[in-house]
Amino acid sequence: MKIDVLTIFPDFFDRVFDFGIIRRAKLAGIVDISVHDLRGFATDKHRMVDDRPFGGGDGMVLKPEPIFAAIENLIGASDRDRYPPKTRVALLSPQGRPLKQRIVREFADDSDHIVLICGRYEGVDERVNEALVTDEISIGDYVLSGGEPAAVVLVDSIVRLLPDALGSETSAVYDSFSNGLLDCPHYTRPAEFRGMKVPDVLLNGNHAEIEKWRHEKALEKTRTIRGDLLTGENGEM
């Protein structure tokens, strides 16, 4: 998979993709991640990428010209109807679809090339959305200074679902949200620590009982912490 990140602060991403699962996936050739300075696609002598909004109001808006030029350079087309198959252009913004595990799975399973546009200031010229963007994604109901942290979240969540990225076919199967529930509690050695013991069921070697216990605990934890996931109040996973 190829992932390109468009930002006006490329230094934000220095080394952020050089750790853990993402680093291993890059070294294994599973994913190729590149960060691009949006100012490099501006054509005026001041490399301007933002301007005042029409109609007045506070703040600045990212201009369409540099973004269109960048997409055309990276994808070879500046019209989403002409993108190659399995190509996605995602805008990170508070107005996007709330990021869910099923959306991450869509990106991981159905994409060969992803371009992430990191929003800034008051937002991005709406013509970018109309012509270029295939997905507008929000990582939560709050406002960040820009889309850069959201891009890191999205990249991390996608890469760990790519084949062979985790080194185990089942590692991601039991993650929180993969089956609509939070993950169950986990324990490791020692079996007793400061008077706190690991549940006996995890020590008896009966895999059927262990799976039953894990499901019950996951259901209990979900009901206590995120009851909305069981009632559907928070929408699909």
* Residues labelled catalytic: 94, 122, 160, 175
Sequence-separated (6 or more) residues with CB below 8 Å from residue 38? 6, 7, 8, 49, 62, 66, 67, 70
Beta strands 87-98 and 135-138, pairing class: parallel
Quote the CA–CA distance of 223 and 9 in Å, as a whole number.
41
Closest CA to 5 of 42, 31, 37, 30: 37
Which helix (H) or strand (E) is 35 found in, with range? strand 32-37
Residue 68's φ and ψ, nearest 5 degrees, are: -60, -45
Contact call for residues 223 and 230 (beta carbons, < 8 A): yes
